[in-house]
């Protein structure tokens, strides 16, 4: 998307492909990112339920993870986790 030139624009910047917003990386707004202690997680799914961006993933074992392409780092998952196994750390620390 980032290599589109002005000649590639549809009339009035109309978007003709439905769902193209999926390709837009909202994760780069993030200043804090979640990390998780997988040993403590009880797979209760509270993080999945509360995430306002649907950026919590579930793998085949029912383990929850993060989709950092969309995660904006709001920290609601860390706040709501009953086992406190999610921690928000500054992006620079990684």
Partner 1 sequence: MAKKVGMEGSLAVSEAVKLANTDVVAAYPITPQTHIVESLAEMVANGDLDAEYIPVESEHSAMSACLGSSAVGARTFTATAGQGLELMHEVLYVASSMRLPIVMAVANRALSSPLSVWGDHSDVMAVRDCGWIQVFAENAQEAHDLVLWAFRVGEDTNVLFPVMVNIDGFNLSHVTEPLLLMEQADVDKYLPVNKYPLPLHPDKPVTMGAFGPPFIYTEAKKAQEVAFQNTKETILKGWDEFEKVFGRRYSPIETYQADDAETLLLTMGSLSETASLAVDNMREQGKKVGLVKIRLWRPFPFEEFRKTVKNANVLVVLDRCLSFGGPGGPVASEVRSALYDQANRPKVVSLIGGLGGRDVTPQNFEYMVDRGLEIAEKGSDSEYEMIGVRK
CA distances to 9, 25, 34 from 65, rounded to whole Å, are 36, 18, 9
Smaller CB separation from partner 1, 13 or 94:
13
| Residue count (the chain) | 94
Q: Which is nearer to partner 1, 3 or 61 (CB)?
A: 3
In the complex, the smallest distance separating the C-beta of residue 22 from partner 1, rounded to whole angstroms, is: 13
Residues from 12 through 31 that contact partner 1 (CB under 8 A): 12-16, 18, 20-21, 24
We find the least distance from the C-beta atom of residue 28 to partner 1, in angstroms, to be: 10
d(CA 77, CA 7): 42
21/94 with CB nearer partner 1: 21
- Strand 32-36 vs strand 56-58: parallel, antiparallel, or unpaired? unpaired
């Amino acid at each position: 998307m980032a290599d589109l030139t002005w000649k590639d624009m549809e009339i009035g910047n109309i978007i003709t492909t439905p769902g193209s917003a999926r390709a837009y990386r909202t994760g780069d707004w993030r200043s804090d990112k979640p990390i998780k202690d997988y040993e403590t997680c009880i797979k209760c799914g509270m993080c999945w339920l509360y995430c306002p961006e649907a950026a919590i993933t579930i793998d085949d074992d029912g383990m929850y993870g993060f989709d950092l392409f969309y995660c904006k780092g709001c920290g609601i998952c860390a706040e709501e986790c009953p086992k406190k196994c999610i921690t928000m750390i500054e992006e620079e620390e990684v």
